[in-house]
Amino acid sequence: MRKIKKEDIVNTVKKLYMDAVISLPEDVSKCLLETYEKEEGLAKEILNQLIENQKIALQDRVPLCQDTGIAVLFVEWGLEAIYEDGDLMEAFNEGIRLAVKEGYLRASVVDDPVFERKNTKDNTPCIIHFEPVMGDRVKITLAPKGAGSENMSALRMLKPAQGLKGVKDFIIETVKNAGGNPCPPIIVGVGIGGNFEKCAILAKKALLRKVGESNRNPAYAQLEKKLLEEINALNIGPMGIGGKITALAVHIEYAPCHIASLPVAVNIQCHSARHKEAEI
Amino acid sequence: MSRLKTEGIKIKIETPLTDEVIEQLKAGDLVLINGYVYTARDAAHKRLVELINNNTPLPFDLKGQIIYYVGPTPAPPGKAIGSAGPTTSSRMDSYTPLLLSLGIKGMIGKGQRSEEVVKAIKKYKAVYFLATGGAGALLSRHIVSAEEIAFPELGTESIKKLLLKDFPAIVAIDCHGGNIFRE
C-alpha cells in the first residue's frame, strides 16, 4: 500500500487549476493556428485575437477567459493507494480554494441553484468523477468548464428506432441551436449509450481527448469525421459571425446500453479547451 | 455570409454614444471603443430592474451609456482588472428593452439577441457590439481602470465603471436592422 498525503492532493489540484486557466494544451493551440490560416475577414480577426490572447495570458499570468469555470476533476484512483488524512473531498476543495485565491480566479459557484444562489466565494465545491483503477497511482485530470459552452449542451433519450439518423440529427441540432453562444470554434464532445448519466459523463470525457484524435472504432471514427464536416458546413463560424470553421473536432465516446435505450449527450466545449493532468 | 471588412479598418468611437455616431455604425464594422462603460450581468440586471420598478434612483445615469456584460476575474497586483471577456448576452435579453427605453445606447457581449431586443435596438436607436469571447486576457489590456460603483455583495457580478482604451469590438446589430448573425 502507498500512502497519499493531504498536501499531495492540495498542491497538485492547486497547480493544475492555476496552470490550466492560463495556458491551452498544445494540440488545441496548434489547431487554433491552423484555423487562423483557413479563415478570412472578420473570422480571421477573431482568431487573431484568440492567438494573441494566449500569449498575453501567459505573459501577464491572467486567465485566458474570465470564466475560470467550475472545476471538473476526473480522478483515477489506484486501489493500492490509501488516504488516511481525513476528509478526502475537503483536500480536493482546499486545492481549488488556494488556486482561486493565489491565481486570482473568478468565484463562479453558488451554493444552491434555485433559492439563495449565494456565491461560495472560493469556487468550491468542485465536481469529481472517481474511477477505481489497478495499481498505486492517483491520476488527476482537471478541466475548468465555463458556463457559456456548458449551457448550450444537451442530452436526449432517443428511441432505438431513431438509430444513426436520430443520433446525427440531435448532435447537429444542438450545435445549430448553440450558434455563437458557446464561443466557437468549439469541440463537440458526444457520449452515446450507457444510460442517462453515463452518456453525459462520456460526453465530458470525450472533451479530454487530444483534438482530432479519432475514436479507435472505425465506424465511430467515420461518424466523427462526417459530423465535423456537416457542422462546419453550418457556417456558424468563430463567435457565430460566419466562417469555415465552427468546430475543431467532434469526439465520440460510447458504451453498451439497454435494449430499449439510445441515450445521446452533447457536451460543447469552447475554443478555450483548458485541461491539465498530473499523477501522484 | 457575414459582411466581411478588410482587415485593419477600425472605427474609433467614444462614450457616451450619440445618435450621430450610432447611425454611422453598420453590422460588420470593426470598432475601437474609448471612454467609460458600465459592467452588469445576470444578477446586476435583476437588481437594476427591481430599482426601476420601485422608482428608486439608479447607481449610474443610463443616458447614452454602454453596458458591458462581463464578470471579470479579480485584479492581480499591479493591474486594473483581471481577465475580462464578454459573457452570453441572451441571458440579459428579458431586461434589455426596458433599459434601452430608459436611455442605454449600447451593449457589449457575445452571441445572438432575441427578436424583441433586435426590435428595441432599432426603435431606441442603439447598437449591440460583439467582443471576442474567451479573449479576456487580451481585452483586459484595453481596460485602463475599474471602479466598483454598486452591489459589491454580488462579487464579480457587481456594477463597475470601466475606462476603455481602444477596446476592440465588432458591430453585431445596428440601428438600421443590420444583424451580423443573419447576413
Q: What percent of chain B has pLDDT over 70?
A: 95
Q: Count CB neighbours of A90 within 10 A.
A: 16
- Determine the average pLDDT of the residues in A123-136: 97
Averaged confidence pLDDT in chain B: 93
A102 touches B: beta carbon within 8 Å: no
Give the pLDDT mean for A175-188: 96
Give a yes or no: residue B158 inside a domain: yes
Which chain B residues are within 8 Å of A66, Cβ to Cβ?
A: 70-73, 82-85, 87, 136, 156
Give me the mean pLDDT over the A30-40 stretch.
Answer: 95
Of B156, B161, B129, the residue nearest B145 (C-alpha): B161
B180 inside domain: no
Instruction: Say if the Cβ atoms of B133 and A237 lie within 8 Å.
Output: no
CATH number, residue B156: 3.20.130.10
For chain B, what is the domain count? 1
Give the B window 58-87 contacts with A, CB below 8 Å. 70-76, 79, 82-85, 87
- Min distance A41 CA to chain B CA atoms (Å): 5
The reported pLDDT for the residue numbered A212 is 84
Residues of A in contact with B174 (CB under 8 A): none
What's the pLDDT score for residue B1? 34
Residue A186 has pLDDT above 50, yes or no: yes
Q: Is A41 on the interface with B (CB under 8 A)?
A: yes
Cβ–Cβ below 8 Å for A65 and B133 = yes
Q: Which of A44, A62, A272 sits opposite B134 (nearest CB)?
A: A272
Q: Where are the alpha helices (DSSP H) in chain A?
A: 6-20, 26-38, 41-60, 88-102, 147-150, 163-178, 196-206, 218-232
- Distance CA(A277)–CA(A210), nearest Å, equals 13
pLDDT given for residue B183 in this prediction:
62
Residues of A within 8 A of B183 (CB-CB) are: 242
ipTM of the complex: 0.93
> Per-residue confidence at B113, pLDDT binned at 50, 70, 90?
very high
C-alpha to C-alpha distance for A183 and A146, rounded to whole angstroms: 10
Contact B90 A62 (CB under 8 A): no
Cell of B88: 452570453
For residue B181, is it within any domain? no
Q: What is the pLDDT of residues A231-277, one digit of tens each?
A: 999 999 999 999 999 999 999 999 999 999 999 999 999 999 999 99
Residues 98-157 of B with CB under 8 A from A: 110-112, 130, 132-138, 140-141, 154-156
In a mutagenesis test of the B interface, which of A241, A245, A246, A272 is the best target, namely the one with the most B β-carbons within 10 Å?
A: A241
Quickly count: other Cβ atoms within 10 Å of residue B55's Cβ: 6
Across the beta sheet with A154-158, the strand order is A154-158, A262-269, A186-194, A247-257
Give me the pLDDT at residue B2, please: 38
In a domain, B5, yes or no: no
Between the two ends of chain B, the Cα-to-Cα distance in Å is 6
**Percent of chain A surpassing pLDDT 70:** 100
Q: What is the pLDDT of residue A43?
A: 95
At residue B9, the pLDDT reads 79
Domain extents in chain A? 2-19+64-145, 148-273
Record: contact A53-B136, CB cut-off 8 A:
yes
**In terms of residue numbers, what domain contains B152?**
11-173
pLDDT at A66 over 90: yes
Task: Specify if B178 maps to a domain.
Answer: no
Give the per-residue pLDDT at A26: 95
Mean pLDDT of A111-138: 95
